[in-house]
Copies of this chain bind each other. A is one copy, B any other.
Amino acid sequence: MNIGIDIMGGDYAPEEAIKGVISYLKSISDQEEDIHFVLIGNPDIAGPYLAALEQWEGSYTLIPSASVIGMHEHPTKALKEKQDSSIAIGFGLLQMGKIDAFIGAGNTGAMLVGAMYTVKAIPGVLRPTIASPIPKLNGRYNFLLDVGANADCKPEHLVQFAVMGSLYAKHVLDLDNPRVALLNLGEEEGKGNILAQATYPLLKQHSGINFTGNVEGRDLFLDNSDVIVCEGFTGNVALKIAESVYHIFAEQKKIQDPFLDQFNFEIYGGTPILGVNAPVLIGHGISNQPAFKSMIENAVKLVKSNFTQILHNHFAEKAEA
């Protein structure tokens, strides 16, 4: 398989992206040598760092890019104007099937828009979504979605998030019969805003998921669910509060605790875009070597598990039904 990486994306590009590739290559055995990296970046800038890849020169190809989309550029505008950017070239390769997955830690909006305009949404998927793992006190994670791609949602969107989150938890996170919960302001059925009230019965009657009811904000870090569904406005606020808990207690107050360690994004690397026609992983802007390695592992798992095809099959069946 071919894993494409935007080595110009992120605050520590291209060094940490390339180090992540090396770290991954060192970790795998010979049997897995069918993994080939397609690195997209500026040869002049990346050149010195690529020297470290010398012993794996058969394991990667450098595709030259001329420009970079900055972290604060307008996604749609930047993608249109910078067709020679690493993100635009990456999605072009993904669309042509030259790579099987695309990883980037650059402009999140551009990654999302790029995915939507090139490989596009899987037929039947109304709204591709971005998910994020939230650490639980017991050492596991809640998989929260949507976390910002879809600020306004309808009940049918939340139902699809529930399905995609559940399939991801099952096939990629290896969870058996993952518990899917609806984020709400109360536990009881009937609680919520209009969206949550309308979504609850749809989730309850859905045969394809293990819906376990509502969870509240206080359940975010608890093991009362495996997948938590909400619209992207509340999900984004919840994610950023969770991230601030890490900044406050681990980084500022220097408190050492296994629960806080789990917040370290290096462990889980990046955030998948669920519902598009190829595996796409978005990394934090501050992604470093372990984060890139994690994203590569995740991308390999997404490709090997045929996750895109699993979603395809699910939504194709739904369309026929």
List chain A positions with a Cβ less than 8 A from chain B.
Answer: 137, 148, 151-152, 183, 185, 192-194, 196, 216-222, 230-234, 236-245, 247-249, 252-253, 255, 257, 259
Q: How far is the CA of A315 from the CA of B96 in the complex (A)?
A: 61
Could you tell me the distance between the alpha carbons of A249 and B245 in the complex, rounded to whole angstroms? 10
Nearest-neighbour CB distance to chain B for A250, whole angstroms, equals: 11
Closest to A249 in B: B249
Q: How far is the CA of A232 from the CA of B196 in the complex (A)?
A: 13
Contact assessment for A236 and B185 in the assembled complex, using a CB-CB cutoff below 8 Å: yes
Closest to A150 in B: B193
Q: Are B237 and A192 in contact (CB under 8 A)?
A: no
Q: How far is the CA of A234 from the CA of B236 in the complex (A)?
A: 10
In the assembled complex, the Cα of A222 lies from the Cα of B237 at a distance in Å of 14
Q: Name which of A221, A233, A247, A249 has the most chain B CB atoms within 10 A of its CB.
A: A233
Chain B residues whose C-beta falls within 8 Å of the C-beta of A239 in the assembled complex:
217
User: Measured between alpha carbons, how far is A194 from B232 in the docked complex, in Å?
Assistant: 12
**Residues of B close to A192: CB separation below 8 A:** 151, 233
Q: What distance in Å separates the Cβ of A256 from its nearest Cβ neighbour in chain B?
A: 11
Which residues of chain B come closer than 8 Å to A242, judged between CB atoms? 217, 241
Are B137 and A248 in contact, CB atoms less than 8 angstroms apart?
yes
Kindly identify which residue among B137, B151, B217, B249 contacts A237, using a CB–CB cutoff of 8 Å.
B217
The chain B residue sitting closest to A191, CB to CB, is: B151
* Inter-chain contact B247/A185, CB cutoff 8 Å: no
* Chain B residues near A185 (CB-CB < 8 A): 148, 151, 232-233, 236-237, 240
Give the docked Cα–Cα distance between A237 and B137 (Å): 18
